[in-house]
Structure 1
C-alpha cells in the first residue's frame, strides 16, 4: 500500500452551533436538536451535563434555561462556504470533508511557509484575524489521522511522517465512529486503536468484512484516501470598456445591456441566481466608484441595467451637492464591471406550481414603479429599536436588505407602548396645543403642564393623557434629545401623539 499523503486538517469546534448562533464562542447554554435528540451543544451546556446523543427532555432536565434550536445541515454548509473560500485564498485545493472540517494537501503550503508547523501557524493566524479564533489544525499522514490530531489540546498538532500508528495507538476505538463495531470490539476486550491494529488483517476481514478491514487500516495509520479539492467557483464577473468614455447615465445604461445579458448567461450555466451584486464604475481619471446592490428575489438583466443607471444618477447628484471647490470635473465612465457577490441555487427560486402568481405579479409591478421613480422612489419599512417613532422606523429602498442598528427586542425605557400610531410624521409637524385662555401650554421642570389642553390646531380636545418625559443621552454635553409626550383626542375622533421641546409642540404621529 502506498504511503498516505501528508494532510492539513482544519477543524472548527461546534461548527453547527457557530452557524446557528453566529459569532465566535462562548455562547449561552444552547443545544441543536434533530428527531428529539441532541446533535450538538455549547461548552456552557456541557458544563451542566448536556451531551450529544441525549434525548431532549434529559438535556433540559440538566439545565432548565437550555435554549433548544432545530439542527439544519443546509445552514451549516451555507455558513461554512465563505470559510472554505478564505482557506482557498491561502491554501489552494481545499477539500470539504463536512461543514466545520476542511483538508488541504500539506506539500505546497508547507514548502511556501518553510515547514508544516509554520504552515499551520500561518493558517491559524489568518483564520483568527477573520473571526475564527477557535480553529484547530492537525497535520499528519492521511485525513483520518490529521482530523484526530486537529482535535488535540494544542491549536496545532503535527504528527511526524510515519508515526501515525504510534499517535493513534492509545485512542479509543470509538473514534472510528462505528458504534456497532466499537461495542463488539469492547466486548472482545479490544479497547484502543493500537489493540485493534495489532489484530491479523485476514482475520479482521473474515470476521467484519470489507468495512471492518477499512477501519482496521485506519487504526494502523494507513489512510489512502485522496484529498479531492472542490470544483472552483465559476467566473461570473463581466465588464465592458468604453472608448471614448460615456458621460450620460442613459448612454452607459444602454451600452451595458449586452454585458448584463452575459452575466445572466454565466449565472444560468452555473445553475445559480444572483441575489447581491457589486457594480464598479471607473471614470476617465481611474477613480473607482463601487456600490453593492441587493434584490428581494434575484436579479435579471433589466435589473442590472437599472442599477447601473441609478448608481450613475446618484453619483451625479452627490457631485452636484458639493461646493464648487470640492466638486470633481466628471469626464465620463470608461469601464463598468458587474460582480455577482452572493449567489444561490437556481432551484430555490423556481416558481411553485401553486400560490406563487400573486407575489410574482406584485414584485414585477413594484419593480416597474421603482424603474420610473428611481432607486429611492419605492421604500419598505422595518421595525427598529428606539424611543422616538422616527427612530423605530427604518425605510429601505425596495430590493435592499434593511440594516437595523438598534435591536427592537431590547428594552427601551421611555418608548411608546403598543398600539403604535398608524401614521408617523417624518419630520415631525409643528402643531399648536393651547390652554383655555388661548396661550400655548408649557411643561415645567417637574413635568407638570401649565394648564389642561383644550384646543389642538383649532379643534376641541375631547380627552388627553400624559405628559410622559423622554430624555436621551443625559451624559452628553449637548443634552441629547428630550421632551414630553401627550396623547390627545380631538372632536373629530382623531388621536394624536404630540411632544413638547422647549416652548414648541410637534406632532409625532397620528392614530387612525
Structure 2
C-alpha cells in the first residue's frame, strides 16, 4: 500500500507560511516552478514555468524557494498518523510512504477498508492523501496517484497501457539515469509499459544497462528491486548516548550529521552500502520514535543526515502537543535494515542523491576511483571535460588534468561570432567525406559562402548516401593556407579561402529504416564529418 500526498512541496510551503485559505502557491527551484497548489494550477500555473511567467499567469501567486528540510519536517505528523493505523511504514520521500498491506488488510477486514482507514487518518491532520494498493511497490505507487486498489495478480494488466514515462515518474524508485532510458525507449517506439514488458528479458539485459533490467521487471509487474541481501554485521548499528540530553533542533541536527558519517565509515570498512535505514530516537522516559527510510540508490552520508534531520525536526517541533516527545532525547540509534554489495549497483558519475565535488561535479565514488587511476598511471593520465568557448562543437569542450584548476582553453562567456547554433551534435566524430552534385562532381564552397552546386549525394568511405535535406553552408573563418581571389564561383580547392559548416540529412530508408543527420565541415579544400545528430 502506498500513500501519496499530491503537491507536497507546495502543501508544506503553505503550512510554513501559515496559508490556510487555499491561496495559490508555487515552489521554485532554479527560477522554475517545481510544484504548485491546485488553486495555482486552476489559474494556469504549470511545472517548468519561469517565475515571471507564473506570476503573470496568476498575479496573486505566492512564490517560495524549494526547501527539502521543510518538506520533511511537515510530513512527520502525516507519517505519525499513518503509523498509528499500520505500525510498520517506510518513507520513500516527504509526501510518499509505503507499508505492507497483507496483515493490516486482514485486520481491518479487507484492503479497501484499510485504505479508507489510512485516508481518514491523514485527513484528520488536515492533509489530502491518495491511497493505492497492489501486489508490488512500483504498481502501488502508480495506483496511489489515481486512488485505485489493483486486484491481486492484476499488476501487469494495470501497467500495460500506462506511458513508458511512468518508469521515471517517481525519483525515489528510479536511478538518476532513468530519464535517459525513458527517452531511448520512446525513440525506439516503445511508448507504453506493456510494450516494454513484452521484450525478452535476455534481450533487455544484453542491450541495456542493469537499471533497465530493473525497470523491465517493474513494467512487467514483478518486483522492481531485488538487492543481494547481505548479513547485517552486529557492529554496524550506530548507538549514541546523548550527554547532556538533546532538546534543541540545531543540536539534534548536528548530532545526526556526526552519526551519519560514523555509520558510513563503518559501511565502507565492511564494503557494504545501505538502501534502507531505521532511525530510532529515545527520550529520557523511554519514549521511542522510529522511522524507516527506503531509497532506490544507496544512502550517502549527506542523504542519511538529511533524513535524520527531517525526522527529528518533525518530532521535536511537536513537543508539548501530545504527539511529540515527552522529554529531551537521551539516545539515537541508526539501524541498517537492508544492505547490498556496492559493487553490484551501478551509479552515474553525477546525479541526484550523490555528493559532488564542486570543482568537477564528480561523485565521491568516482573521485576516489580517478585518484587511484592517477596513482597507477600518472597525473596526466586522467583528464576531465570542462565547458569551453568556441565556434565548433569540439571546441566547446576542454580536457584538463583531474585535480588542476578547471580552467577552459577559451573563455566561455566571450563573444564567438559565427558559432554553430544549437542543437549541437550528440556524437563528435572525425572522418573524411565528399559532397557531390547531380552530375557526380564535387560540391565546394565559394568565396561568398555558398555551395558551388546543390548537394545530391554524400560519399562516406566507399559508400554513397543520397541527401534528403540540407542546410547551410555557414562560413566561420578563413583558411590561411589557401589563396584568395575575386572569383566568386571558383571552387575552394583552387582559389577561395572560406571555411564553413553544413548539415545534411541522409536518406537511408532503404538500408536501415532510419535517417541520420550529419554536421559537415569544409576546411583545407576538403569536407569532413564533424558530428552526428540523433
Q: Give me the TM-score of the superposition, normalised by structure 1.
A: 0.44
Q: Give me the TM-score of the superposition, normalised by structure 2.
A: 0.42
Please say which structure displays the higher CA radius of gyration: 1
